[in-house]
Chain A
Amino acid sequence: MSKQADLSIDFCGVKFENPFCLSSSPVGYHAEMCARAYEAGWGGIVYKTLGLEKSFKVVMPSPRLNAYHHDDKRFIGLQNAEQITDRPILDNIKDLTWLKKSYPGKVLISSIMGYTDEDWTELAKMSEDAGADLLELNFSCPQMAHKKAGHRVGQDFHAVAAFTEVVKKASKLPVIAKMTPNITDMVPVAMAAKEGGADAISAINTIRAITDIDINSFTPLPNIHGNSSPTGFSGPSAKPVALRFVSELYNAKHLNLPISGIGGIETWIDALHFLLLGATNLQVTTAIMKYGYRIVEDMIEGLSDYMIERNIHSLDEIIGKAAKKIVDPSEFNTRFQVVSVVDENKCIGCGRCYISCADGANQAMQFDSERRKVSVNEERCLGCMLCKHVCPVWDCISYKEVDTTVTRHAAIF
């Protein structure tokens, strides 16, 4: 057994052995599944969102998933029309109770969704009594069949503040408010949650999206008996959007709440990206749906090695490190300018950079058809680096700084 770095975190006063949690979804549908997730090494679970069947009877649409493919890459995103749990509340409470008793060292988070103040109060109290360590308020499910729930609440500042306040009154547990990305600016909603008493923010829930259309029946997918809807999109292709929201929450100094980062985490590197942009806690679903709970082993080992290699003793040392480097584009130092550099020994002569530069940049790449090698006309190169991104050899093209008193002088000064 190799040396293991300390991956523990403190999130809202709750200690996690590692930041990796299941997010509220089918991967935390019942106790047996959650137990296996704990056994696999997950530090915590957010149980599938509880609701009260007496207020709203949940029926899952079917089929409700559609994977997003690109080229021959399968499942780079997932669209779902999943609802909150369809299991009876008492069954779920029994499961929560059993889980906390069986795994006292692991963190148990109860995700709840009410439709009225009374619902929120009841769900918060039942969760606390069952032994949950934290509550997560689901203000963000983008496809709830109930018209006064989910992201419709999450887009309404007043409702977010009011429901958070109700929960805080009902329970002593720390409260995480889960945000919808289906909004232009997430910070005001998070501020509303804070005003209501929220202790942390989790982001993002899924993005409303249409992943595919059956071009024969003219039906978007998933085809739910002839209809579809823009429903929650997640997975690796949603990650860039999630990272943006997390960084904005972290950089909103007046918000100043810990963040649980969610959106497309599959590997320790994805996890690290969220940490570096300000998330303390991390949640995963799509990657588990695709690969199973076992992936946490590689997240733990990978992140641990990263920390040991760099002499990082605690995740606190790196949380938000990259967020500090996010500025408004108006603040870029445009006096620093680069041109492409091609490593001719690595160039395999396919000419993809030549085509892309010719049709998508400034015709700076030159193709020597005799030798099948490319070279850069530095006078024409704009330093955009499109060439690097289309090159099939990962480390063939790089850049170097140019003297801006000569190159691009007129454009800059």
Chain B
Amino acid sequence: MKNPIKTTNIAQFQSMCEPLTLEAAIKESNRCLLCHDAPCSAECPAGTDPGKFIRQIKFYNYKGAARTIRRNNILGSVCAFVCPVEKLCEKACSVKALEEPVNINGLQRFAVEYGKRFGIEALPKSRKTSGNVAVIGCGPAGMSCASELAKMDYAVTIFERENSGGGVPRWNIPEFRLPGDTIAYDMENLLSQGVAFKYESAVKSEDAIEKMLLNGYDAVFISTGLTEPYRLNMLDHYENAMDYITFLRRVKFDRKSIDISGKTIAVIGGGSVAVDAAVSAKACGAKKVYLVSLEHLDELPADKEEVRLAQIMNIIFKAGSQITEVLSDEKNITGLKGIETEWIEPGRFTPDNIRQIAGTEFSINADMVIQAIGTKPGREIINIKPQLQTNGKGVISVNEKFETNETGIFAGGDVVNGGATVAQAVGEGKKSARFIDEYIKNRRNSK
């Protein structure tokens, strides 16, 4: 049983769903079959172990549930809000054979909130006896790797170019999906583990990573994520075309600079970030918001709950459509022309696989266009470490142990996987930490 979405909260950039009450959590946890093999847990890329924390809730062990979540997933409270559970744990839920799956993220939020409100002891502090590791980039993958290393008594320093940590959840996920204090709670837990943070410390100089490895760090973990949005050439140079990263960050931290009240906005893209941008635009007062995507409605990469959210917010879907022409005055876009499309080869959702459908041309007015068609890693890391192997899209290549081709340098999260869930990044960070530990111990033993 999912809590209903509150549209009034969205307009105020407050959490769109109320947390489960104690009563609702008791009911929901009793719907869980407590499976022997907990397929939900097997499906969680972060290893949060919902099978265990739901059992703990069912047996009134609420603090135990909060501990399980935090121990397994340092971003446990963020994931409780943003995880696309329908594609992960809830997809695997055995209850689905009988009725609606268990509301797993609802229960996760309940347990996290319970832990916050009634207090669970701080995570143990790293004794810093195992070695030193530098983490570059304080997003989910970096935080998770750091937390795991701290548990293994490493001294970990996270270098972050921004003035605070959290990565995408902090800067780009709207507050109606992720309340503002959520990431702060996870950051506090990481801090309590004795992890050191160096903010506004972009790793820029050419020999920075070499120096780290020479000056006391046993290994470096790169988790700089994706920072460079793709842009459509036809939209270049217009003042009122914006990428979603800039848009979502300004909505979150500089909302006054987004003056779109009463305006018509076109968002291009079909993923979660496109929906976030579209709903944010609406919440900022836009009169009309279009969502133009190559994917048809049932093919949108955004999870169903988000599509539902967009529908509730009256976003106008131009799904299965392509932009063909930009209408503009000198500096600004005034409208877009488009056409409906179909896939030449079914099931392959790439721009080179579409066929336009004659006679379906349309045009829409637009006071602003937001592009949300994907992101790639920034060039910064490659610029300072050109020897690092990357693949065509600019993501760093690693082996199954998250090792790059350079000794002592590991990488994980979006900068490696090209963009996935927070849970995936957390999982990669955790696994990386174990391989980093293994690498450091092996090196020490062979000396």
Contacts and interface: CB of A to CB of B under 8 A. Distances in A.
A372 B96 CA distance: 14
B36 A71 contact: no
A355 interface: yes
A59 interface: no
B98 A372 contact: no
A115 interface: no
Interface in B1-59: 26-27, 30, 33-37, 39, 58
Interface residues of B, number: 13
Interface stretch (A47-55, A249-257, A343-351): A343-351
Contacts of B97: 348-349
Interface in A369-386: 369, 372
Interface in A391-413: 392-393
Given A367-B36, A367-B37, A369-B37, A349 B26 contact: no
Contact of B36 (A72, A351, A393): A351
Interface size class of A (residues with CB under 8 A): 10 to 19
A274 interface: no
B33 A392 contact: yes
Contacts of B98: 348, 392-393
Interface in A21-45: none
A369 B37 CA distance: 7
Contact of A355 (B26, B36, B39): B36
B332 interface: no
Contacts of A158: none
A72 B26 CA distance: 6
Given A392-B98, A393-B98, A352 B35 contact: yes
A355 B35 CA distance: 9
B358 to A, nearest CB: 49
A16 interface: no
A349 B27 contact: no
B164 interface: no
Q: Which of B26, B34, B36, B97 has the most CB of A within 10 A?
A: B36
Q: Which residue, of A72, A352, A354, A393, has the highest number of chain B Cβ atoms within 10 A? A: A72
Contact of A352 (B26, B30, B34): B34
Contacts of A352: 33-36
Contacts of A349: 35, 37, 94, 97
Interface in B322-358: none
Given A350-B33, A355-B34, A392-B33, 14 more contacts: A71-B30, A72-B26, A72-B30, A348-B94, A349-B35, A350-B94, A351-B35, A351-B37, A352-B35, A354-B36, A355-B36, A367-B36, A372-B37, A372-B39
28 contacts: A71-B26, A71-B30, A72-B30, A348-B33, A348-B97, A349-B35, A349-B37, A349-B94, A349-B97, A350-B33, A350-B35, A350-B36, A350-B94, A351-B35, A351-B36, A351-B37, A352-B33, A352-B34, A352-B35, A352-B36, A354-B36, A355-B36, A367-B36, A367-B37, A369-B37, A372-B39, A392-B33, A392-B98
Closest 10 CB pairs of A and B: A351-B36, A348-B97, A350-B33, A72-B27, A350-B35, A72-B30, A350-B94, A71-B30, A354-B36, A355-B36
